[in-house]
Amino acid sequence: MKKIGITGQFGFVGRHLSNNLGLFPTEFQQIHFDRSYFDDSNQLDAFVSDCDVIVHLAALNRHDDEQVIYDTNISLSEKLVAAFIRTGAKPHVLVSSSTQEERDNVYGRSKKIGRELLVNWAEKVDTQVTGFIIPNVFGAFGKPFYNSFIATFCHQLTHGEQPTIAQDGQVQLIYVQELVEQMLVEIRQATFQASLYIQATAVKQVSTVLALLQSFQKSYFEQGIVPVLADKFELDLFNTFCTFIDHRTYFPVKFQQHIDPRGMFVEVIRMGVRGQSSYSTTVPGITRGNHFHTRKIERFAVIKGKALIQLRKIDSDVVLDFYLDGTEPAYVDMPIWYTHNIKNIGDDELITLFWINEPYNPVDPDTYFVTV
């Protein structure tokens, strides 16, 4: 079992890497890291000594004073190297840099120098290092106005704000899950690569991305439609968009009921994507689910009985509770990386309709069991 430490463990990419490592509990053990370790040589020494692999993601992306960005990013690498020298530790180091290296800006220069400091140390002590040079990363739970323009647009469109484009142009993009999967490959292989250029998986005009997100907003919020998703990029972008919705205020969404003397008709989902529809009956007191998905879009619709639907982001202790009653049929959509369940809290049978955008595949189920 490899012991993995992540500087920047609670940042955007760090959280995704940590969550993915958690999917392989017999292969990887995560060593906790806190940003304060950089200011405590004893804590930092203990951390580097305990790791087989260190993924150095900690960095400062934005600050009003560019000199602070430059000094901080170089200092973080210098402190790691100093800890390696003091302790004699020689872990495999994966260090993240950016395609901004190719541009003459402060952030790019600081990341390049920080990467080279770690590469030079690794060469001297004959250990493995992987220097990732990464394009623009987007995905679920990014920090708006900090991590990417996509995070900013998603936040604005889901919170009643109007995005504006500061500078249009083509941008090389990679989805955070795709980046993490490449990191896992390098962690397992442990080869020396001073500069590993990560290929973008999509090249898009900023205005094109915004137009797509605006179409998601219109179809999902205004029309109640899960939109047509033409390719993997659009699926990843839609899943990213959905994680910026404030579930506590948006869900559950009540269905429009069409009632006449014959009874009632309710449209459960109007969609532009294919998928699998199913239903379940649940006896009182029973809970179903307690699992999460990393890519699937899923809807729970209660049409009879009383239910408690619970969601929890897998790296958070915050549980979202939604109470649904079949007398007023309603639904809740499940965001990726949120473990979820549904419990019959009534005295009668619970009937729930389920829709998911891809049928269950036992070879690649994308279903991970974690109690809410």
Give the end-to-end CA distance of the chain in Å, rounded to a whole number.
Answer: 27
Query: Is the pLDDT assigned to residue 261 strictly greater than 90?
Result: no
Q: pLDDT per residue over 175-190, tens digit each?
A: 999 999 999 999 999 8
What is the C-alpha separation between 111 and 39, in angstroms, rounded? 20
Predicted confidence at residue 29, as pLDDT, reads 98
Work out the average pLDDT over 136-156. Answer: 96
Tokens 């209660």: give the residue: 302
Give the domain ranges of the chain: 2-210, 247-369
Predicted confidence at residue 265, as pLDDT, reads 72
Determine contact, residues 300/308, Cβ cutoff 8 Å: no
Predicted confidence at residue 207, as pLDDT, reads 98
Work out the average pLDDT over 3-20. Answer: 97
Work out the average pLDDT over 297-324. Answer: 97
Predicted confidence at residue 224, as pLDDT, reads 85
Work out the average pLDDT over 194-221. Answer: 96
pLDDT band at 77, cuts 50/70/90?
Answer: very high
Question: The sheet that has 253-254: what strands, in order across it?
Answer: 253-254, 330-334, 298-304, 350-356, 276-282
Do 2-210 and 247-369 have matching folds? no
CATH number of this structure's domain 2-210: 3.40.50.720
Q: pLDDT per residue over 20-37, tens digit each?
A: 999 999 999 999 999 999
pLDDT band at 293, cuts 50/70/90?
Answer: very high
CATH number of this structure's domain 247-369: 2.60.120.10
pLDDT band at 10, cuts 50/70/90?
Answer: very high
